[in-house]
Chains A and B, each alone.
Chain A
Amino acid sequence: MSALEVGTVVAALVLWGIVSADSESIYFPPLTEILDRFAANWMFERVGSDVVPSLIRVIVGFLLSALIGIAVGLLLGRSRSLRGALGPPLEFLRNVPPPALVPFALLVFGIGESEKIFLIVLGCVFPILLATVDGVADIDPVTRDTADAYRIGGAQRLGSVILPAAAPRIAAGMRTSLSLAVILMVVSEMVASTDGIGHFVVEAQRSFAIADMWSGILLLGLVGYALNLGFALAENRLLWWRRAAARAARGAPGTPGRPASRPGRAGWGDRRR
């Protein structure tokens, strides 16, 4: 984040603080009070009892669904007939709004860790699975033919040809699933849980501890932001070649193969980035 972006965020917070300073409304307490409760609750009193369980659920659920989604997606992506046969049921399942499965998860697992992780996996596996299938199925036939010509097979083909080629699509699917995982984590904690940030927020609302409730909402926002940031950094690391390719395509100075179609307009595309 550039200095300007950080600056505007700080300015927005300051504005919120000023506007809410003399607030008499019960539901919108002054920002200072909220920050007070935030420090009291989350630095670091309730981290172990609420933040850690929530984070574990979301991360374990997300990684598990990525594992299953990518594995099954790879299988389906390679076989046209499997795709044709299983396509419609998968399309149907993918369209079930995941929160509708909360009662199902509760029924099968009762209240507990496995129920929440089960719910998250159920909701998050489909975007990743379908993205993987798309990514594998759409691999450039030239790439495939080249791999055939060099007789690259088996594990090496998977690791060095198929996965990198499908990776951008898979990453896009994973990004969708990450937001879904956070939503499902919060929903399952609000509906049936004994701990977790979502549970804390609902309890605070029920006992009319409004500033505490707001502190929980703020924390959820931060968690969502941090997880997304973490994923973006991981993606950048693992898919490092995308940045280089994008830069070369734009014709940044110093990269070989700058497009010659716009003479005298070096860096033209950069203006809009």
Chain B
Amino acid sequence: MSAFTEKVGSLLVIVAILAGLELVVHAGLLDERHFPPPTEVADALVDQMGDPALAEEIGQTLQGWGLGLALAAALALPLGIAIGCSQIAYRVLRGPIELMRPVPSVAFVPLVVLTLGSGLEGKVFLVAFAAFWPLLIHAIYGVRGIDPLLLETARSLGIGPLTRFGRIVVPGAMPYVATGLRTASAIALILSVTAEIVIGAPGLGHSISLAGAAGATPDMYGLIAVAGALGWGLNALLSRLERRVLPWRAAWTGVEE
């Protein structure tokens, strides 16, 4: 089956699923109030696309995502690399890090509401806090996973510590960091939307919440689809970036996600 046939096949499947849903709803098998037919959702989507408010909301969600992720990376990557390079730091800090890692960042939402309010600052803090841990851990393990033989060889060849760091440690840790970045990005989007839903920060999540509460189900589904497209787009963007910066990584077939 050629790639083209496969693509046509998937398109047909999607069309078939949507047509099937349309029939099922019109036949009354699914409650129309909760599950509007796909044509209505498509209508609502088209209306929303024309509305500039949608672009604003997408921007607000992206703001939380971007600022939080950047903050987390700026803190976690240098720290992670430093901890990875130092055996002592690793042994000492490993306990607290493993303890903090599974703490659900959403638990801090009420505290954030009290101290930072329900706006952008609160959202950015939550996103940054959540995205910090996977980045930190991937940076640490990226550095620690470097074959010590490479460093020993460089040392015996008389290559200085700074060059060793720049030419071996940093590139060697990059694949792990790239994976960590993709994980952190997904987490960042989740937390950005969470902040919007739970504390009402402006953005896509908030609009979805409002649409749901008002019973405007086609709008709600349309916005959820937009959120999905956003998530998909960010993922695709990061994958493309990764392939650009780390072209050799494509050769690694068995890399753990």
Answer whether A and B are interacting partners.
yes
Within 8 Å CB of A89, what residues of B?
10, 13-14, 17
Binds B, one of A40-48, A100-108, A238-246: A100-108
Interface string of B6-22 (1 = CB under 8 A from A): 10011001100100000
Q: Which stretch of B67-75, B158-166, B167-175, B226-234 is in the interface?
A: B226-234
The smallest C-beta distance from A220 to any residue of chain B, in angstroms, reads: 4
Interface size on B, residues (CB 8 A): 62
Which residues in chain B, 208-246, are within 8 Å of chain A measured between CB atoms? 208-209, 211-213, 215, 217, 220-221, 223-224, 227-229, 231-232, 235
A154 at the interface (CB under 8 A from B): no
Cβ of A146 < 8 Å from any Cβ of B?
no
Q: Is B106 interfacial (CB 8 A cutoff)?
A: yes
- For A225, the chain B residues whose CB sits under 8 A away are 99, 102-103
Q: How far, in Å, is B191 (CB) from chain A's closest CB? A: 8
Q: In the bound complex, do residue A190 and residue B109 qualify as a contact, i.e. CB atoms below 8 Å apart?
A: yes
> B104, A98: Cβ atoms under 8 Å?
no
Is B115's beta carbon under 8 Å from chain A? yes
Task: Tell me the bound Cα distance from A179 to B145 in angstroms.
Answer: 25
- The binding surface of chain B is classed by DSSP as helix
Q: Which residue of B lies closest to A271 (CB)?
A: B148
CA distance A1 to B96 in the complex (A): 11
Q: How far is the CB of B114 from chain A (nearest CB, A)?
A: 5
Task: Among B99, B107, B108, B213, point to the contact of A103 (Cβ < 8 A).
Answer: B213
In the bound complex, do residue B194 and residue A183 qualify as a contact, i.e. CB atoms below 8 Å apart?
yes
B144 at the interface (CB under 8 A from A): yes
A156 within 8 Å of B (CB atoms): no
User: With an 8 A cutoff between CB atoms, is A165 at the interface?
Assistant: no
Closest A-chain residue to B17, C-beta based? A89
Taking a contact as CB atoms closer than 8 A, the residue among A6, A8, A183, A202 that contacts B93 in the complex is A8
Residue of A whose beta carbon sits closest to that of B9: A85
A205 contacts across to B, CB distance below 8 A: 110-111, 113-114
Given the known interface contacts A99-B193, A104-B212, the answer about A88 and B14 at a Cβ–Cβ threshold of 8 Å is yes
Q: How far is the CA of A101 from the CA of B192 in the complex (A)?
A: 14
Please tell me the size bucket of the interface on A: 35 or more
Q: Which residues on B sit within 8 Å (CB–CB) of A172?
A: 256-257
List chain A residues, Cβ under 8 A from B102.
179, 182, 221, 224-225, 227-228
Does A256 have its Cβ within 8 Å of any Cβ on chain B? no
Q: How far is the CB of A38 from chain B (nearest CB, A)?
A: 14
If the complex has contacts A8-B96, A213-B110, are A182 and B256 also in contact, measured as CB distance less than 8 A?
no
* Contact A97/B231 with A8-B92, A179-B102 known, Cβ cut-off 8 Å: yes
Is A86 on the interface with B (CB-CB < 8 A)? yes
Chain B nearest Cβ from A11, distance in angstroms:
9
* Alpha-carbon distance A210/B115, docked complex (angstroms): 12
Q: Among the listed B110, B204, B224, B229, which residue makes an inter-chain contact with A104, where contact means beta carbons less than 8 Å apart? A: B224
Quick check: B227 and A187 within 8 Å, CB to CB? no
Q: Could you list 19 A-B pairs, sorted by A, with CB under 8 Å?
A: A4-B95, A8-B95, A9-B95, A9-B99, A89-B10, A95-B228, A99-B193, A104-B212, A179-B102, A180-B190, A190-B198, A202-B110, A210-B114, A220-B103, A224-B102, A224-B103, A225-B102, A227-B102, A268-B148
Q: Which residues of A contact B (CB under 8 A)?
A: 1-2, 4-9, 12, 27, 81, 84-89, 91-93, 95-104, 106-108, 131, 134, 169, 172, 179-180, 182-183, 186-187, 190-191, 198, 201-202, 204-205, 210, 213-214, 216-217, 220-221, 224-225, 227-228, 268, 271-272
Chain A to chain B: the 5 pairs with minimum beta-carbon distance, closest first: A103-B212, A5-B95, A205-B110, A95-B231, A96-B228
